[in-house]
Amino acid sequence: MTNNHINYIEFKGRDLVAIKSFYTRAFDWVFTDYGPDYIAFSGSGLDGGFEKSATDPINGVLVVLYHEDLMVAKERVIGAKGIITQDIFSFPGGHRFHFTDPSGNELALWSDK
C-alpha cells in the first residue's frame, strides 16, 4: 500500500442482500459479510464495500485513501483547510477518519497500523 493513494471505495445501499446478488451475478465480485450492516467486496479491480443505509444514497460513494500514520495524515488534512467530519475510530482491519475538502466532498483516510 502506498501513502495518499486511493485504496478502497465505499457505497451506500438500502438492501445489501440485493446488492450482493446483483454484483455477484453481473460481475463475479466476491463478498465478505461484516454483520448485518456492512459487506466488503473484492475482484473488481479496487476493493470496497457497501454500508447499509436507511435512506437512498445522495453522493453514493466514499473514496478511502491509505496512510500508514493517521495522525500525520490528519494534521496534513487540517493544515490544508480540510474539515474533520468523523475523528479517528477503529473498525475491523484498522482505524480511519473522515474529512471534507473545500468543495464539501467527503473522503476517508485509513490505516492498518
Domains of the chain, residue spans: 6-111
Give the pLDDT of residue 105.
Answer: 78
CA distance 24 to 43: 10
Give the pLDDT of residue 111.
Answer: 96
The owner of cell 468543495 is 103
| CATH entry, 6-111, from 3.40.50.300, 3.40.50.720, 3.40.50.80, 3.10.180.10 | 3.10.180.10
Whole-model pTM? 0.73
Give the pLDDT of residue 72.
Answer: 95
Residue 98's CB: how many other CB atoms inside 10 A?
A: 18
- Low-confidence residues in the chain, pLDDT < 50: none
Give the pLDDT of residue 97.
Answer: 96
